[in-house]
Structure 1
Amino acid sequence: MKIVLAGGSGFIGKKLTDLLITKGHEVVILTRKKLVPMYNETYVTWLKEGAKPEEELDNVDVFINLAGVSINAGRWSHHHQKQIYESRMKATTELLRIIKVLKYKPSTLINASAIGIYPSSLDTTYTEDSQATANDFLGKTVRDWEATAKRAETIGVRTVFMRFGVILGNEGGALPLMTMPYEFFIGGTVGTGKQWVSWVHVTDVVQAILFAIENDHLNGPINVTAPTPIRMRDFGKTVAHVLKRPHWIPVPSFAMKLVLGQKSKLVLEGQRVVPKVLIEEKFDFQFPTLHKALEDLLK
């Protein structure tokens, strides 16, 4: 298949590009930068003045949208929150414009999303059937992001929302920051420790995206989390066990709020999210448990 990828130079995008090319797909990456191909992919300029990417795209089967400013980078100032929100809306709107003007429409749009759409809770389990949505910054961002991408359905394009959990990987995501205190022998429970961490190994993330492409009966939201969410205190204990470090110095909530501001909600609050669709569709998780995931990533 010919697959167009927005956000291909990011943490997930690089691994996804490698996987897709390994599987024999042709990958075209939309970019604003001049990049040197690493996996036999090709590049098309977009989101720059005068750029007309639609003129270089034909017979596309699938669009994948991973574009947007990372929520893990930087403090959540008002300016950074604006960048996070607007980058997603702008990229998704432009993708829709491109799709609409193409003579031959793709069959599928795979759009990134996040479990931040679900409200924080200590006792609720969320699946794709859950209707509750968060009213905070991240909840609004994800809700608007999905609503924008959903407009592709009006022109006959199957649309899937990959609601990513806390993605664990060595090259990016949350893991390097979460393990750093343990590397220096000062790791411990963050906040109350009761908050849920709905995590997922980056390998399972890219495999889940490929799974959504290959199974064309799937549409709408798909929770991309491991089937075994875990409490924060147990997450920390597992990190300590794998790294053979102590789990002893707690990090109080006020300290996290002081350092991270509003972004502290990412670690002080959480949701218990279960990947019901992937489980029912018999998706093969390579890393279904946290211990197995961390042994792969940290050893």
Structure 2
Amino acid sequence: MRVAIVGGTGFIGRALIHYLLEQGDQVVLFSRSADVYRTVPDFKHVQLVSWPPQREAVSLAEMEAVVNLAGETINQRWNSKAKKRILSSRVETTRHLIGLIKEQNLNPKVLINASAVGYYGTSVEDVFTEESGPGADFLAEVTQAWEKEADQAAHYGVRVAKMRLGVVLGHKGGALEKMLLPYRLFVGGTLGSGQQWVSWVHIRDVARAIAFAMVNSDIQGPVNVTAPHPVRMTTFGQTVAKVLGRPHWLPAPGFALKLLLGEMSDLILKGQCVKPDKLLEAGFKFQFPHLEEALRDLV
């Protein structure tokens, strides 16, 4: 399969490219810094094209699938300027992508658009599936706007799968290294109340789920990409401590994290219990369904 990826130079994009190449797929990577990445080993076997693409640069019409991962990181203090960048980077790139599809410069069978479980808002008690409605906080608003743009591709005969990612655990990026650091320093402990849910997923299963959605015509609309066994924050920390052979003893109170991180502390102090019903019903098998085995693989 010929796959075009937008925003594929980051943590998830690199893992996806590696997996697709393992499967024998051809990958075209669109990047605003294409020339910079031509000498990077991770992209040695992909075709790099500047974004936005020029018609003569590559035969876009031959792309069978498009994966949109573009968007500025949310791991920053959420002041008004940052919020604007986080939202616009997702919406504007997706809008441009839909424009290429409308003009038939791109004619894929499927658009895989990244999203996030932040769509649902936060709760200590509720369990969210793809049938659940949206929340009302900042991340919920961002994901709703992002998904609304992606949905426009359906008007042009393109199947759209909106992959709502949980907390992605992996090497060289994501949240895991920051979460491991206190334990490596023997000062790990519960963050906040400890009752907040962590809907996590192994980076390998993210890549596998995206590839699964590309070829499975029954997968469309919202798709929760989270392991089938989310855990509460206290259990997450205790499992990290067990895997690393470190103590779990020094709590980090919520007010301290709020002072340090501002509104972004919601990513840590609040959470949601999200289940991947659609993937499981379609027959997807998680390689790492349980947290301890995922951490042992990564650590």
Normalising by the smaller structure, the TM-score range is over 0.9
Distance (whole Å) between structure 1 residues aligned to residue 273 and residue 139 of structure 2: 16
**In structure 2, which of residues 42, 59, 62 is the aligned counterpart of residue 59 of structure 1?**
62
8 Å CA contact 1:44, 1:53 repeated in 2: no
4+ runs of 1 displaced by more than 6 Å? none
- Mapped partners of 1:17, 1:169: distance in 2: 15
Give secondary structure in 1 for the equivalent of 2:62. coil
Q: Does 1:42 align with 2:47?
A: yes
Q: Does structure 2 conserve the Cα–Cα contact (< 8 Å) formed by 1:45 and 1:53? A: no
Match for 1:113 among 101, 112, 115?
115
CA separation of 1:247/1:108 partners in 2, compared to 1, >3 Å: closer, same or farther?
A: same
TM-score (norm 2): 0.95
Is 1:21–2:21 an aligned residue pair?
yes
- Tell me how far apart the structure 2 counterparts of residues 123 and 54 of structure 1 sit (CA, whole Å): 53
* Amino acid in structure 2 at the alignment position of 1:281: A
CA deviation map 1:179-231 (0-9, x unaligned): 11101100000000000000000000000000000101211010000000000
Aligned residues: 293
**Mapped contact 1:53–1:98 kept (Cα < 8 A):** no
8 Å contact kept, 1:18–1:39 = no
The alignment-based identity, stated in percent, is: 47
Contact 1:7–1:66 at 8 Å: present in 2 too? yes
SS at match of 2:61: coil
Q: CA deviation at 1:21?
A: 1.5
Partner Cα separation in structure 2 for residue 282 and residue 52 of structure 1: 39
d(CA) in 1 for partners of 2:128, 2:44: 37
Q: Are 1:251 and 2:252 matched, yes or no?
A: yes
Task: Determine helix, strand or coil for the equivalent of 1:84.
Answer: helix
Q: Which moved more, 1:137-146 or 1:76-85?
A: 76-85
Counterpart amino acid of 1:194?
A: Q
Work out the CA distance in 2 between the residues paired with 1:101 and 1:201.
Answer: 37
User: 1:58: how far off?
Assistant: 2.8
Q: Which digits, 9 at most, give the CA deviation of each residue in 1:5-49, with x for residues without a partner?
A: 0011110101111111221111101111112263410011114xx
* Cα shift at 1:117: 0.5
Partner of 2:139: 138
How far, CA to CA, are the matches of 1:124 and 1:226 in structure 2? Answer: 17
Q: Tell me, which stretches of 5 or more residues in structure 1 are unaligned? A: none
Counterparts of 1:225 and 1:206, CA distance in 2: 12
Tell me what 2:285 maps to.
284
* Runs of at least 5 residues in structure 2 that lack an aligned partner in the other structure: none
Using the alignment, how far apart are the partners of 1:121 and 1:89 within structure 2? 26
Q: Distance in 1 between matches of 2:55 and 2:220?
A: 26
Q: Distance in 1 between the 2:105 and 2:74 partners?
A: 35
User: 1:104: how far off?
Assistant: 6.4
The match for 1:95 is 97
Tell me whether 76-85 or 172-181 shows the greater mean CA deviation. 76-85
Q: In 2 relative to 1, CA 39–216 (structure 1 residues): closer, same or farther, beyond 3 Å?
A: farther
CA positional deviation for 1:119: 2.0
Q: Show the counterpart of 2:73.
A: 70
Aligned residue number for residue 8 of structure 2: 8
**Letter of the 1:297 counterpart:** L
Residue 123 (str. 1) matches residue 125 (str. 2): yes
RMSD: 1.3
